[in-house]
Amino acid sequence: MGANLPAKNYSKSNPTTLRLQFEATGSSTEYIDIAQALSAINRKAYRQGLYYYVNSVEIYNNETGVVDLHTIPDNWITKNAWNRGFRHYQKMNAMVETPRSKWHDFKVFMSNRHRTSGTLAPVLSNINLAGTAITADEWAYSQFISADDDGDAIQNADNFAIHMLGPHVGAPNAWSSVSLIKSYQDTRTLPAANGTPQTFADGPTDPLMNLFDFSSEEQLNEIAETLASANDQPPYDKDQYIGVDEGHMQQVARIGTETGVGRVGRASGFCAPMGLLCVDPGPGITTTFRIVLNLAAGTYHGCYAERA
């Protein structure tokens, strides 16, 4: 009996659940965090700040309608903005000697709407078409704690969440959530015809730029404003980076279903920067529907992912 087995070359190695299921509510925009879902389903810690690849998507629904899937734009702006935020996060945490927790990671929201509406938990199947949600004990999105208190020694530190797409939420010294792409844009220089760079008007007050600013005279802000000058006209909108508006998502799929015979819709694969997805049901979708992501297999705990 012991010899009646496949050859050793066919031993199953590193079993990983790559088929992720979610239950979404009709007429409600939902958000998926692939790293969170992988961690919950596989009982392993998957880092969020990676480029995850989806081989295919399936939608199960008994209605005539469409569901759109969106990701963060897959471009150099997204990559650089995330890396800049990560560097500031590491620098901030290095200011204290508190040991990092075992599952410490840099996690961001896709948008402020994602922050306020929450993230879909993955589900496993039950009988009678029911789904059982698989939740994590903790999946804490990162926060910045700013030192920009004007040096008065009485104002509390400003704590704020971070998201990728859209504008900042709040006001200086009272931010609720800060956009990494907006912050990256505001601290970049603009092209200049005369060789003298110009900065964005919001640059000197950028929350991350002021993260370590203890100057009561705002010396760093004065220097930044002094360096501002004229710019050239490039072949793109120099005043807006892709991603500073919440409406700058990249549509990767539109999946249609039909009552009766066409209850399953499918779409081909795509890359999901930071593993974040927006699920946007269109007209006709009013009840609960199921989304299935079939992830690409690879060497990162069984799935394929790339570093930012």
Q: What is the 3-state secondary structure (H, E, C) of the chain?
A: CCCCCCCHHHCCCCCCCCEEEEEECCCCCEEEEHHHHHHHHHCCCCCCCEEEEEEEEEEECCCCEEEEEEECCCCHHHHHHHHHHHHHHHHHHCCCCCCCCCCCCCCCEEEHHHHHHCCCCEEEECHHHCEEECCCCCCCCCEEEECCCCCCCCCCCEEEEEEEECCCEEECCEEEEEEHHHHHHHCCEECCCCCCCEECCCHHHCCCCCCCCCCCCCHHHHHHHHCCCCCCCCCCCCCCCCCCCCCCCEEEEEEEEECCCECEEEEEEEEEECCEEEEEECCCCCCCEEEEEEECEEEECCECEEEC
- Low-confidence spans in the chain with pLDDT less than 70: 1-13, 127-130, 148-156, 192-197, 213-242, 261-262
pLDDT at 194: 60
Which pLDDT score is estimated for 238?
A: 59
What's the pLDDT score for residue 215? 54
CA–CA distance, 227 with 74 (Å, rounded to integer): 31
Which pairs from 90-98 meet CB under 8 Å and 24+ separation? 91/211, 91/212, 92/144, 92/145, 92/211, 92/212
Distance CA 184, CA 216 (A): 24
pLDDT at residue 97 in the model = 80
Asked whether the whole model's pTM tops 0.85, one would answer no
The rounded distance, in Å, linking the Cα atoms of 94 and 86 is 12
> What length is written for the chain?
308
Burial 163-185 (b: 16+ CB within 10 A, else e): bbbbbbbeeeeebebbbbbbbbb
Between CA 245 and CA 232 the distance in angstroms is: 23
- Look at strands 303-303 and 297-300 and give their pairing: antiparallel
pLDDT attached to residue 231 = 32
Instruction: Determine how β-strand 158-165 pairs with β-strand 198-199.
Output: unpaired
For CA atoms 300, 44, 139, 172, the dihedral sign is negative
pLDDT for the residue 206: 80
